[in-house]
Every structure is written in C-alpha cells, then in structure tokens.
Amino acid sequence: MKKIITVLLAMMIITVIFALAGCQNKSSDPGTPPEDVIHPGVSDNNDTGNENSNGQTFTGSGEMIENAISVRIGRDSNDELSVNIIDNAAANTMLDYLSDSALLFPTYTYDEDAGFVGQNVRGNYTREEEVTVTNIKAGELYLFSGGQLRLYFKDVPGANITATPIGVFADTSVVNEAVTNAYESNQGDTWGVDVYFWITKQIS
C-alpha cells in the first residue's frame, strides 16, 4: 500500500512540476548582432550581391527572361503585352512582389518631353547593377536610384542615364501609342493617376 501512496505522491509532484514548467517560456538574451552582420561589406569585401531572407543570392545571370510578365497599358485595356525581364537582383525583387493575378499599378509621372512614365516603387534595391545608358529605346524599363521605375515610351537618343535595366517589351512598336492613348483617356482620374498598368507575372 505504501507503494500506491508513493506513486500517488509522485504523480502529484510531477503534475506540479509540469504545470510550473509550462510558465517558463522566456528565451535568454542573445545580445546584439556584430558589425559584420550589419555591414558585411566592411569586413568582407568578397561578398557580392544581396541575400534575401532565405539566403538566396539575387545577383542573377544578367540574361533575359522571356515573357516574364504581361502588361496591359490603360485601366480599360484588354491587350496583353509581353515583357522580357533581365535576370538581375532588382528585377528579381520586383518579380517577387507580383503574382499570376493582374495587379493594377498606377503611375503619377508622365513626362512627354523626357519620353517616360514613372512611379516610385517600394522595396530596397541594390545599386550594384546600375549602368550608364546613352541611347534609350521605347519599351525599355529602368529603375533609378531613388526607387523610381520608368517605362520609356519614346526613343531618347543621348539620354545618358544611370539606372538599373529591368526589362523590355517584346513588341516595342506598340508601346508609344498604347501609353499615349492611356494617358489621354485617363485625364481627370480620381487619384490624379496619369497611366494605369495591369501587370501579371507569367513565370513561377
């Protein structure tokens, strides 16, 4: 019988210990991250490119990804235009924001003289892949250092810009007319948007 009482007492003690153990959930303080985590380039100059949250390198091959996205220019447009995207860090980051459902993307800057429509895009992008472009062709997309994404709808010879190339429309010949028509039909927009774009990611 003593055994029974001992077992019962043991059960009671174990129960209390387990109940108390459930309250202990605080992790110990890991301290603060070292300098090479915050500024890896300072201590290790061999690092190239940015890493995303999964540790993947975004640098990319620099080659063209055919038909990566499709774009409709204008809020009421039904014409899907294919866009080829350059395989680099900035373009890959942008692709991460897109999905296979059409996303309505407003642009608030229409510059007839400079030949582009632009809009600041969120996200932090590496500037390591910036290039200087002297002559721009209609249908080309560039990301500028302030985070502005521009679609040039005109040829701009002697532009001499410094930006990261993002992609180019497969059929560049239709871009000028499509952007101009969308801009004109969008006058008086509630939000003051110049041109709307519907963007759909075509690659997984």
Footprint of another protein on this chain (CB under 8 A)? 1, 4-5, 8, 11-12, 15, 18-19, 22-23, 25-27, 29-30, 32-34, 37-40, 50-55, 97, 99, 101-106, 119-124, 126, 146-147, 190-191
SS3 content of the chain, % helix, strand, coil (to 5): 25, 30, 45
- Least distance between another protein and beta carbon 190 (Å): 5
The nearest distance, CB 99 to another protein, in angstroms, is 6
Instruction: Kindly report each contact of residues 96-101 with a partner whose C-beta sits within 8 Å and lies 24 or more positions away, as own/partner.
Output: 96/52, 97/121, 97/122, 97/123, 98/69, 98/199, 98/200, 98/201, 99/200, 99/201, 100/200, 100/201, 100/202, 100/204, 101/200
Which is closer to another protein, CB of 70 or CB of 126?
Answer: 126
CB 35 within 8 A of CB 42: yes
Residue 126 or 172 with smaller CB distance to another protein:
126
- Residue 31 CA to residue 39 CA, distance in Å, equals 17
Query: Considering beta carbons, is residue 4 or 78 the nearer one to another protein?
Result: 4
Angstrom CA distances, 61 to 11, 57, 89, 111, stand at 63, 11, 9, 32
Give me the least distance between CB of 87 and another protein, in Å please: 19
90-167-165 Cα angle (round to 5): 55
3-class DSSP assignment, residue 87: coil
Please state the closest distance from residue 137 (CB atom) to another protein, in A: 25
Nearer to another protein, 123 or 157 (CB): 123
Which of 41/157 has CB closer to another protein? Answer: 41
The distance of closest approach from Cβ of residue 134 to another protein in the complex, given in angstroms and rounded to an integer, is 27
Q: How far is the CB of 118 from another protein (least distance, A)?
A: 11
Q: Which is nearer to another protein, 64 or 104 (CB)?
A: 104
